[in-house]
Amino acid sequence: MRKIYIFDTTLRDGEQSPGVNLNVKEKVEIALQLEKLGIDRIEAGFPAASPGDLAGVNAVARAVKNATVIGLSRSREGDIDAVREALVGAADPCLHLFLATSPIHREHKLRMDKGQVLEAAEAAIKYASKYFDKIEFSLEDAGRTELDFICEVTAMAIRAGAKVVNIPDTVGFLTPYEYGNIFKTVKEQVPGVEKIQLSAHCHDDLGMATANALAAILNGADQIEGTINGIGERAGNTAIEEVAMALETRQEFYGAKTSLVLNEIYRTSRLVSKLTGMPVPGNKAIIGANAFAHESGIHQDGMLKEKTTYEIMSPETIGLKESKLVLGKHSGRHAFRENLAELGYEGMSEEQLNIAFAKFKELADKKKIVTEEDIRAIVEEKLVDTVEMYALDFIHVSYGNQSVPTATVRVHTHEGEVIEEVALGNGSVDAIYKALDRATKEEVELSDYSIKSVTQGKDALGEVHVLLKQNGVSVQGRGVSTDILEASARAYLDGVNRMIEKRKQSKGSASGEISFK
């Protein structure tokens, strides 16, 4: 069976989702989980974008041992040099060069004609060949590029030394038929194409990213680029879990498979959702909360008689075990540790384990039944506040439907300063957020707020997600608690901490064309 290589760009294209800002530690944590998932190639970032990005790529390059680590670069020497520096220490480094090829980009963005594009790309590949054995070249906005020019640029890239040529549908414009036809034509017409790999990179603006990637596979693509949970700027990228499960479930149709460790999909999805602060919609294919839920009586009846009536793949395949009662308030540390290992949370430090156990005991006192989902929510909350500017000590809210809500909050900084503030608000959450604004002296705008329960029942844990904005920059925040006001406060403070971190990281960023979707 044909092997399809998976190129994960969660840490680069995915990180360019609005509000997402991963620090170096978080990038490494995701990269190591991608390695466990069996991802072949990990694009860790765009080193020329900022010193923070360069440091993130370098940390991933040094940590990952069993996957190729890739750095993105415009077709310029300075960018290529930044990737060289960032990939020092990588077991298997690769440079990802790109240049736009479509008439719209040539005319309005690059102000270059076809000849100049060919020349600039060739010069970049040749310069890079002095330092890299593995080079991928991408024709940005290939989806809106003349087909004969795609073939011409691909032929040039092969001659110049690229090992992979990527043909992206940068703006998610194409239909599966059109996208597949590009691959078919390139395969048939470009001399030397058999010596390299062809790659597909799709965006989901019209909801076609997975369909287009699969059409590319049917027409000869060797590699699929995508992200976990399909995150990415605008409508996002191809969801890797969707491609992997489509190939697995319809093997007889595609005759191709990935080498992903499928039962790591769910865990990877949770981790990416937690660290990016981007919740997975309930109806999302494969990893959404409802993806394996059967609601109607007719479906439930069918499932009880024979699972295959309504189930085309099993939840266990992606690592989703049936939720069962795990622990109660009398469970000890040993049982807790064993349950964590069973859920896949291994390698926690003693300090993290102690904090998680204390949180579990606190929760078990409030809730009779502590489920797998509760345990995941506890462990997935930040367990050590090492890099955070502010941590929450307490909130106190006074509320009555005939009076003005008042909130008192106390936070401490990582330098040990304790700050207490009071504020009035239009509602309890508003009062808490105003008090936190005063305490942190950060002026942020709340542009989105959502709350969901982690499990069922009145005593369920509540999970709050916020999107905060400051000077045109947005960040996500997440908080969990059995009390929704506390969860709201934690989510807001998490967002504020991320905003401060992002501000620090963006100092010294490259200007100009740094976003490529």
The contact pattern for Zn ion, residues 414-433, with x = CB under 5 A and - = no contact, is --------------------
Minimum distance between the CB of residue 340 and Zn ion, rounded to whole angstroms? 36
Minimum distance between the CB of residue 517 and ligand KIV, rounded to whole angstroms? 5
Closest to ligand KIV by CB, 13 vs 79, is: 13
Concatenated DSSP letters of 270-323: HHHHHHHT-PPPTT-TTTSTTTT---SHHHHHHHHH-GGGT-SS-GGGGT-PPP
Q: Closest by alpha carbon to 276, among 7, 502, 517?
A: 502
Binding range to ligand KIV, per CB under 6 A, among 163-171, 348-356, 416-424, 484-492: 163-171
Closest to Zn ion by CB, 83 vs 500, is: 83
Minimum distance between the CB of residue 401 and Zn ion, rounded to whole angstroms? 49
21 is in an annotated binding site: no
Question: Residue 435 corresponds to which amino acid?
Answer: A
**Cβ(206)–Cβ(195) under 8 Å?**
no
Binding range to ligand KIV, per CB under 6 A, among 164-172, 181-189, 434-442, 457-465: 164-172
Residue 206 DSSP one-character state: T
As given in the structure block, the two tokens for residue 87 are 């990939």
Q: Are strands 462-470 and 473-481 parallel, antiparallel or unpaired?
A: antiparallel
Q: Which partner, Zn ion, ligand KIV, none, binds residue 140 by CB below 5 to 8 Å per kind?
A: ligand KIV
13 is in an annotated binding site: yes
Binding range to ligand KIV, per CB under 6 A, among 103-111, 165-173, 270-278, 397-405: 165-173
Spell out the SS3 assignment of 217-267: HHCCCCEEEEEHHHCCCCCCECEHHHHHHHHHHCHHHHCEECCCCHHHHHH
Alpha carbons within 13 A on the beta-carbon side of 257: 11
The contact pattern for ligand KIV, residues 13-42, with x = CB under 6 A and - = no contact, is x-----------------------------
Question: Residue 42: CB partners within 8 Å, gap ≥ 6?
Answer: 8, 11, 31, 34, 35, 60, 64, 67, 68, 69, 70
Closest to Zn ion by CB, 376 vs 517, is: 517
The contact pattern for ligand KIV, residues 174-213, with x = CB under 6 A and - = no contact, is ---------------------------x-x----------
- Distance (Å, whole) CA 200 – CA 4: 11
Q: Which partner, ligand KIV, Zn ion, none, binds residue 98 by CB below 5 to 8 Å per kind?
A: ligand KIV
Residue 442 contacts ligand KIV per CB under 6 A: no
Outline where 343-471 has alpha helix (H).
Answer: 350-366, 372-380, 428-440
Residue 170 contacts ligand KIV per CB under 6 A: yes
Residue 7 contacts ligand KIV per CB under 6 A: no
Minimum distance between the CB of residue 172 and ligand KIV, rounded to whole angstroms? 9
Query: What are the C-alpha distances in Å from 160 to residues 13, 167, 187?
Result: 26, 17, 18
Residue 13 contacts Zn ion per CB under 5 A: yes
**Cβ(184)–Cβ(149) under 8 Å?**
no
Give me the residue whose beta carbon is nearest to Zn ion.
13
Question: Residue 385: CB partners within 8 Å, gap ≥ 6?
Answer: 391, 414
Query: What does residue 142 show for φ and ψ, rounded to 5 degrees?
Result: -60, -30
**Of 47, 71, 168, 277, the one binding ligand KIV by CB under 6 A:** 168
Residue 516 contacts ligand KIV per CB under 6 A: yes
Minimum distance between the CB of residue 68 and Zn ion, rounded to whole angstroms? 18
Q: Site residues (CB under 6 A) for ligand KIV?
A: 13, 98, 138, 140, 166, 168, 170, 201, 203, 516-517
Q: List the binding residues for Mn(2+).
A: 13, 201, 203, 237
Q: List the binding residues.
A: 13, 201, 203, 237
